[in-house]
């Protein structure tokens, strides 16, 4: 395999790991060798590779590479996500499609395995630029997907928005409206609980696993930090499976002590933020992340905002605009993967943190919004939705009453943000 497909280390590793696990079984069945099942299992049925040409908001033309790996459809139509990220290449997608084949078969549903994507990075792109790219990508691919043939989904860099753009283009070209894509937004026929399914699923899986060992989550000792996002995610995770804080033994402590308690075995579980969570996962054998705040983004949110008095903004309007513009541009800069190390160094120096801990967060523990994405979120109502949800949380906690809720535009200064966005 390595000789036939050189320079594909991710693909080689995935194949090698699977073959090592089935070697004994394979060797005991002579008919497998006669049918050459290994090569037929490991080599994709077909690979589509194509150029994707799209235009940015300034009218400049760009090209990226697009791919779709249809690995195996022995038990059903090809099924697998589409990934948009600068790291995407043929080796990574072949590895993902190979593993997707086994993942789908384990669901017991009649689905084959596939994967697709592009080295296009949606970070820092406007909604219009992302839409044009998605449409251009499907323009090249639409003839090779469809119900009963190949059903794409989302992946890294491809959420409900991107799937909606691609599905809209597919419908126009294929002249049929039977679904084809999974992971669509609710307004396009997607599943109501699709955003929460993966996060809640982890908690459900934990409960079912514990049942096999006659262990219950009730009564377990869980460390957390009250009044923080730690308490919020713990409450949400418990509520998602019909439990409350009264069903466990909560231990309130600061973040450093949460790590110590977890590593020493003093508690059964914990709810904590990064980099503390990363330390636990790295140093504690068998530790598993069951849920994260994005799993519950429809019911809770933690917002950090810059605060200024109205009198100051009136007297120093230009200063506020310059500050906001610098912040938006800094977000654009920090969100670029090639700047992670430099920005992590600045943050580590300023906060007296270990630069490696900061870098781990930058690379794998957060989704960094760009200034352009924030501005787009203001235009489409996403930011309003965040603050409205925050108000609902404050009502639920008793911090404010229902009568004290107010329009978001009364306290979020959109005119200054939008003026600053002209850069």
Any idea which residues carry the catalytic annotation?
A: 115
Q: What residues pair up with 53 in beta bridges, in sequence order?
A: 63
Grouping H, G, I as helix, E, B as strand and the rest as coil, residue 63 is strand
What is the C-alpha separation between 29 and 48, in angstroms, rounded?
A: 34
Q: What are phi and psi of 116, to 5 degrees?
A: -150, 180
The two structure tokens encoding residue 246:
């009264």
CB burial readout 73-109, b (16+ within 10 A) else e? beebbbbbbbbbbbebbbbbbbbbbbbbbeebbeeee
> How buried is 361 (Cβ within 10 angstroms: 0-12 exposed, 13-18 middle, 19+ buried)?
buried
- β-pairing, 249-252 vs 113-118, is unpaired
Which residues are CB-contacts of 364 (< 8 A; sequence separation ≥ 6)? none
Do residues 182 and 151 touch, judged by C-beta distance below 8 A? yes
Q: Are 150 and 78 in contact (CB under 8 A)?
A: yes
Q: Residue 164 in contact with residue 184, Cβ under 8 Å?
A: yes
Taking alpha carbons only, the member of 218, 233, 229 closest to residue 268 is 218
One DSSP character per residue, 179-196 reads ---SS--GGGT--TTHHH
Q: Three-state secondary structure along 329-356? A: HHHHHHCCHHHHHHHHHHHHHHHCCCHH
């Amino acid at each position: 395999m390595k000789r036939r497909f050189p320079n594909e280390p991710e693909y080689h590793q995935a194949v090698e790991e699977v073959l090592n696990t089935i070697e004994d079984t394979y060797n005991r069945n002579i008919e497998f060798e006669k049918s050459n099942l290994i090569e037929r299992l490991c080599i994709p049925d077909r690979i589509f590779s194509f150029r994707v040409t799209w235009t940015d908001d300034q009218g400049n033309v760009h090209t990226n590479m697009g791919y779709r790996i249809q690995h195996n459809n022995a038990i059903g139509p090809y099924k697998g996500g589409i990934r948009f990220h600068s790291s995407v290449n043929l080796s990574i997608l072949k590895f993902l499609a190979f593993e997707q084949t086994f993942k789908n078969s384990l669901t017991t549903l009649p689905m084959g395995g596939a994967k697709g994507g592009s080295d296009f990075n949606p970070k820092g792109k406007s909604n219009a630029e992302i839409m044009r790219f998605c449409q251009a990508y499907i323009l090249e691919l639409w003839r090779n997907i469809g119900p009963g043939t190949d059903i794409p989904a989302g992946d890294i860099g491809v959420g409900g928005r991107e799937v909606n753009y691609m599905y809209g283009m597919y419908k126009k070209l294929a002249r049929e409206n039977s679904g084809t894509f999974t992971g669509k937004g609710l307004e396009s026929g997607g599943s109501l609980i699709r955003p929460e399914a993966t996060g809640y699923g982890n908690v459900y899986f934990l409960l079912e696993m514990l049942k096999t060992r006659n262990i219950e989550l009730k009564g377990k000792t869980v460390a957390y930090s009250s009044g923080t996002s730690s308490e919020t995610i713990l409450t949400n995770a418990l509520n998602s499976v019909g439990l409350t804080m009264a069903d466990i033994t909560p231990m309130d402590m600061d973040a450093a002590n949460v790590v110590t308690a977890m590593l020493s075995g003093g508690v059964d579980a914990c709810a904590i933020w990064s980099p503390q969570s990363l330390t636990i996962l790295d140093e504690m054998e068998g530790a598993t992340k069951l849920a994260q705040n994005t799993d519950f983004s429809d019911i809770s949110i933690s917002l950090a905002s810059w605060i200024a008095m109205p009198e100051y903004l009136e007297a120093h309007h230009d200063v506020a605009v310059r500050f906001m513009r610098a912040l938006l541009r800094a977000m654009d800069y920090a969100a670029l993967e090639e700047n992670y190390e430099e920005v992590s160094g600045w943050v580590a120096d300023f906060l007296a943190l270990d630069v490696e801990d900061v870098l781990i967060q930058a690379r794998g523990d957060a989704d960094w919004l760009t200034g352009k994405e924030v501005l787009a979120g203001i235009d489409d109502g996403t930011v309003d939705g965040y603050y409205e949800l925050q108000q609902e949380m404050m009502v639920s906690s008793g911090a404010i009453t229902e009568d004290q809720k107010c329009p978001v535009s009364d306290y979020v200064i959109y005119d200054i943000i939008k003026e600053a966005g002209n850069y």
